[in-house]
Amino acid sequence: MLLAVANSLHFASFVPVSRAVLLATRHYCKKTATKLRVSEALSGSELGENVKVKGWVSAIEVTGTLKKSPHPKQPVELEAHQIHVVGECNPVDFPFKIKERHSLEYIRKLPHLRCRTNAFSSLLRVRSEATAAIHSYFKDNGFIQIHTPIITSNDCEGAGELFQPSGPGFEEDENFFSVPAFLTVSGQLHLEVMSGRHLAEFFMVEAEISFTESLEDLTKVMEDMFRSATEHVLAHCVEDVDLFHRHVTPGHRDTVDAMMSKSFPVISYSEAIDILTHSSEDFTFPTNWGCDLMTEHEKYLVKHCGNVPVFVTDYPYDLKPFYARDNQDRPRHTAAAVDLLVPGVGELCGGSLREERLDLLQARLEEAGLEETYSWYLDLRRFGSVPHGGFGLGFERYLQCILGVDNIKDVIPFPRFSHSCQL
């Protein structure tokens, strides 16, 4: 299961309309047909006669000869001897027209069909490679994956904004779990239980690092993971990424190249506020010290710093969750927290050193009236606690960042948002 609070990642093998070849089968006389992978057919390694290809241009099966193509933009072509329509498709009724370029907003309205489009089938392949790349990064760097609960009695952020499961079963028996239960928004608290070694990846990729007292340790992992995953995706999804950068978000490749070629600057929250207050920009939200940075502020800071990812550290203590480490600085009281802001998106990663000092953590929970609720969390500090920290990366925001997609709904297969739960 990768990435995602309240969701698991399921893998399916299919190739949508953007690649007509789904499955090629080579026939041998009086022998069982041998299945040929799409990559093998496209590479031209299996040229010859009696090749059967199945795919979606209107769901067809084609038998013929696979040969090298004289066309410079494709390596092979199939000289058809027989074409069988497996599933008919009326082009008049079909909502996607061959010679029309449909907007992401339009195809979003057809969640059951949008995987048939070039853009979204490319997006799915990019998601798959990015998922594998992030797994690979953490695996190669000594982390292990932990599956944290989807249903929880904890409010991780302490803001009371969790969704409570509903339905006939819950309405009839409100005490099914004996305590109020919610769909989690983060696995971070559960990760701390396992903070000796672990990784949990959901649609929010979350990592916790033990034996660290430095924000630099967190920013190094954030930056290394971003670079490693992006290099992998760019290398393994060349055509799919190129489709976005050429036709969906033209010009964005220059932004990606700049992100990969330059180091990520680091500024403090106080420096960020100074930049914002001295700018000539007419912001909608306030920019005084102590205010939360909004997306408009984050995007401006990214542009101000050269339109590359930038780390912002040491946020006001009152803005951060109860587990963020107190810097104990005065007169401006800050927490050892850090956000990674990226072009076109704003915040991509958010993290902090965790408060490992029992007395300070207990005092803050008492102040919030949460000491009894999080007595188990205090036990983690009582019994063998070590300095540690962690962060979460929004996976869909990551895809937005490298592809240049404006709306997050267009980088997730089945988006759920206010007043919309299609399929």
Separation of alpha carbons 296 and 309, rounded Å: 15
CATH class entry, domain 120-148+187-411: alpha beta
Helix (H, G, I), strand (E, B) or coil at 43: helix
Handedness of CA 394, 399, 405, 411 (dihedral sign): negative
Q: How far is CA 34 from CA 14, 39, 75, in A?
A: 18, 15, 22
Separation of alpha carbons 233 and 227, rounded Å: 10
Give domain limits for the chain.
23-85, 120-148+187-411
The answer to whether the beta carbons of residues 131 and 229 sit under 8 Å apart is no
Instruction: Read off the tokens for 294.
Output: 């909004």
Question: For the whole model, what pTM was predicted?
Answer: 0.76
Separation of alpha carbons 53 and 66, rounded Å: 9
Q: How far is CA 197 from CA 141, 210, 219, in A?
A: 11, 7, 18
pLDDT of the chain, 423 residues: tens digit per residue:
333 233 333 333 333 434 443 444 444 443 433 456 666 777 777 787 788 877 777 888 888 888 889 988 888 888 888 898 988 888 888 899 888 889 999 998 888 888 888 898 899 899 999 999 999 999 999 887 776 666 565 655 555 455 565 555 555 445 555 656 555 555 566 555 544 453 223 478 889 998 899 999 999 999 999 999 999 999 999 999 999 999 999 999 999 999 999 999 999 999 999 999 999 999 999 999 999 999 999 999 999 999 999 999 999 999 999 999 999 998 899 999 999 999 999 999 999 999 999 999 999 999 999 999 889 889 888 877 889 999 999 999 999 999 999 988 888 877 766 666 666
Separation of alpha carbons 219 and 316, rounded Å: 18
CA dihedral 208, 209, 212, 213 (to 10 degrees): -20
Report DSSP letters for 284-344, one per residue. SS--STTSPPPHHHHHHHHHHTTSS-EEEE--BGGGS-TTBPB---SSS-BBSEEEEEETT
Q: Is 294 exposed, middle or buried (0-12, 13-18, 19+ CB in 10 A)?
A: middle
